[in-house]
């Protein structure tokens, strides 16, 4: 299942996404965590040292494109592959269970969780680049990823409604909106609900930083049945934020129960691969008309393979053999955004 964590900046979405990753990994599930927030803190929340950071996806977008396009005749080069380019016959599809050069080059083990990261803004990016150029790598990966039963992909998204600036918000089976018991937190929920209403997105609210029954009542009045579970202030989490490790058994019982409720909600989500493909194609066409056709000089509608279907269930991801990852490609250009 593909899971997104969204919410107001400072709501604790990074902390809760890390806790869910650790909860699932402790149960023996394969977990892929992706830090797609402009503030890159997911690794630290998973217990890594500040110096331990994955190779940034956003700085190697062309290499990722070259690998994923495989032998797809509709995508003859990385120059015409944009962040919304869908897979087709001949594309390389990724799975969580099988090794591949993308995981090997960009993945970092974080206590049994495989961590990827877009990478933070650099001095070269300031004033001339948009962070969504980096999150485009995540959109490509999710479009080329086939995750099976009992496998989880958890993405820590950008704060607020900024995640709607690309089609990335449609790439998930379940979205958790982390909400503090405040008017500002609720306003982000309402904004997200409004924007996502036409896309069939499954949204559950996780209350965070709850101190008493009045906080719960406030959220229940504001979001109704969307409120799935609440997390209280946590001493072990504060210890982690101060650089002291803790085990999942150290978490308060109510917070462990909230994590279990989140997993149950995800496992109960009905996955619709046909809708996933239809939205992927629709978002690609919108981007093609808005900017990508002009940027690449070709009609990107031709990249849509009408006969493509994801291999699901027990089937293997049908793709060319894994090729060595090219780390020596030329630098990214505007055409490879």
How is the chain split into domains, by residue range? 2-336
Topology of the domain comprising 2-336: Rossmann fold (3.40.50)
Q: Quick one: pLDDT at residue 122? A: 57
pLDDT of residue 327: 40
pLDDT truncated to tens, each residue of the chain (337 aa)?
999 999 998 899 999 999 999 999 999 999 999 999 988 999 999 999 888 999 999 999 999 999 999 999 999 999 999 999 999 999 999 999 999 999 999 999 999 999 999 987 555 655 444 455 678 899 999 999 999 999 999 999 988 777 777 789 999 999 999 999 999 999 999 999 998 888 888 999 999 999 999 999 999 999 999 999 999 999 999 988 888 888 999 999 999 999 999 999 999 999 999 999 999 999 999 999 999 999 999 999 999 999 999 997 533 344 444 444 444 332 222 222 2
- Long-range pairs, 210-219, Cβ under 8 A, ≥24: 210/181, 215/181, 216/181, 218/181, 219/179, 219/181, 219/186
b/e map 128-154, b = 16+ CB within 10 Å: eeebbbbbbbbbbbbbbbbbeeebbbb
| pTM score of the predicted model | 0.90
Instruction: Copy the structure tokens of residue 220.
Output: 């229940």
DSSP state of 215: H
pLDDT at 85: 97
122 Cβ contact list (under 8 Å, min separation 6): none
Q: What are phi and psi of 302, to 5 degrees?
A: -70, -10
pLDDT (0 to 100) of residue 313: 58
Hunting for tokens 């919410």 — which residue is that?
7
Q: Is 232 helix (H, G, I), strand (E, B) or coil?
A: strand
Which pLDDT belongs to residue 245? Answer: 86
What is the pLDDT, as a whole number, of residue 63?
95
Q: Which residue shows structure tokens 């949204």?
A: 203
DSSP-derived letter for residue 314 is T
Place of tokens 């592959």: 81
CA 61 to chain CA centroid, Å, is 16
């Amino acid at each position: 299942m593909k899971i997104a964590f969204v919410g107001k900046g400072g709501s604790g979405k990074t902390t809760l996404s890390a806790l869910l990753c650790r909860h699932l990994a402790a149960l023996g599930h394969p977990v892929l965590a992706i830090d797609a927030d402009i503030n890159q803190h997911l690794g630290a929340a998973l217990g890594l040292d500040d110096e331990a950071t994955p190779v940034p996806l956003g700085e190697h977008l062309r290499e990722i494109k070259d690998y994923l396009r495989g032998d797809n005749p509709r995508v003859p080069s990385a120059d015409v592959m944009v962040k919304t380019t869908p897979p087709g016959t001949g594309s390389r599809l990724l799975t969580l269970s099988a090794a591949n050069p993308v995981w090997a080059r960009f993945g970092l083990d974080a206590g049994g969780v495989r961590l990827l990261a877009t990478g933070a803004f650099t001095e070269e990016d300031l004033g001339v680049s948009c962070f969504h150029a980096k999150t485009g790598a995540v959109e490509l990966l999710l479009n080329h990823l086939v995750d099976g039963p009992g496998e989880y992909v958890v993405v820590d998204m950008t704060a607020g409604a900024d995640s709607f600036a690309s089609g990335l918000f449609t790439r998930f089976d379940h979205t958790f909106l982390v909400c503090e018991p405040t008017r500002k937190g609720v306003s982000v929920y309402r904004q997200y609900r409004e924007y996502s209403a036409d896309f069939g997105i499954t949204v559950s609210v996780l209350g965070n930083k709850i101190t008493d029954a009045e906080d719960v009542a406030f959220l229940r009045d504001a979001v109704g049945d969307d409120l799935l579970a609440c997390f209280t202030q946590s001493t072990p989490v504060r210890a982690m934020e101060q650089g002291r490790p803790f085990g999942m058994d150290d978490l308060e019982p109510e917070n462990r129960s909230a994590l279990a409720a989140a997993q149950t909600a995800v496992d109960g989500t009905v996955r619709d691969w046909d809708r996933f493909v239809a939205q992927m194609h629709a978002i690609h066409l919108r981007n093609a008309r808005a900017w990508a056709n002009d940027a690449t000089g070709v009609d990107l509608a031709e990249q849509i393979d009408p006969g493509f279907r994801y291999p699901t269930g027990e089937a293997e991801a049908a793709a060319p053999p894994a090729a060595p990852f090219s780390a020596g490609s030329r630098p990214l250009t505007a055409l490879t955004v």
